[in-house]
Amino acid sequence: MRPFEGIKVIDITHVLAGPFAAYQLALLGADVIKVETPDEGDQSRGSGSDRALNRRKMGTGYLTQGSNKRAITLNLKTEAGREILKKLVADADVLVENFRAGAFPALGLGYEELSRINPRLIYCSMTAFGQEGPRGGQTAYDHVIQATSGLMAATGTPEANPIKVGAPVLDYATGTMCAFALSAALFQRERTGKGQHIDSAMLDVALILMSSHLTGYFRTGAEPKPKGNSYHFATNSCYETKDGLVMLGASNRGQHERMFRAVGRPDLAEQSGNEQREELCEAHAQVLREIMKERTAQEWEEYLQARHVPAARVRPMAEAVADPQLQHRGVVHRHNGNGDIPGDLTVPLAAFRFAHGGPSIETPPPRLGQHNAEVLGALGYSADQIEAFRRDGVI
């Protein structure tokens, strides 16, 4: 039995962060009902690298976190749409929304209103800046928060900066953080019997992801500087080899000593501490730049790893996902093709495994409104009523 079996989640989110939060619960057994607008649906349905799928409203941006969910459409600007949602909420455990702060309360669908219907409801609001405060009414996406938070300013090289991180890390980190918050709130409810309102902000998540930089800044006033592929220690940086780049990760003192012994420079292995390593960083780097050119990146990776020195050849995604270790870990799941998604579809599963009852995928991402009849029928609506909702633009 997976942890969230029997838990009902109403997922009224779009793009990446919100859907990813609900996806984490779906992987662990929750019944996640994705609610979208009847006309366009989640805007991520039209985004991704496969334009044919985008036109089908099944873009890879949506497919990434759509498995194990049921999909319905509701026009929440209509009274009938809001009433249907309230019926859904009556026996739900979780509602997740990531629209502009104040948008749902303005529709009469805020936490205060819905908790009166269901006091055990855990209501998670995900926004760029939080529900209140000077920026509470502003909106943003991942890259905008990267700019706002200082993350971009700390990324890049001394010559080329600021640069945003290549992947939408704040979206997925926010989704993961909210999944953790929802799990904690569900556990808390087991003890108190009470629901909860979770106020999550992407800006907060960005700062938490820079926690050590944040603490250092408040202590000394030193802002993190973009250092590219280099770090404070020469043995913990990236170097050119015969045929590519290798990233060294000899971070602590023991690894530093093993590194220099491994490359035939035991005279550089000893040092009094990290301060001296920082002072000698450039001198050590000059030595390593020459030595690293003596072998290929793959040869260095194998040679150094065999000597317990962290090192890795820099790989593009095509090589990274072909690594047998990923196959062994079961990080991804492959759906067999069907009418909605021609050909195979491979999606991320989870970044952890359980000994039993862990994350799994049973159903592929649904079409827009695929489960309207099923979900509304379970709420007591007749086939004629459902058809009338469709004609009137309610679903």
User: Which residues are known catalytic residues?
Assistant: 171
The dihedral sign for the CA sequence 293, 294, 299, 305: negative
Q: Is the peptide bond before 316 cis (omega within 30 degrees of 0)?
A: no
d(CA 260, CA 284): 10
The whole-angstrom distance between residue 76's C-alpha and the CA centroid of its chain comes to 27
Match 């609001």 to its residue by tokens: 125
DSSP code at position 368: T
Q: Answer whether 282's CB lies under 8 Å from 273's CB.
A: no
- Distance between start and end Cα atoms, the chain: 33
Q: Whole-angstrom Cα distance, residue 287 to residue 310?
A: 18
Whole-number Å distance between alpha carbons of 39 and 41: 6
Q: Which residues of 222-235 are buried (b: 16+ CB within 10 A; e: fewer)?
A: eebebeeebbebbb
Q: Mention every residue, 6+ apart, whose C-beta is less than 8 A from residue 195.
A: 115, 118, 119, 120, 121, 122, 123, 185, 189
The CA distance from 190 to 336, in Å, is: 38
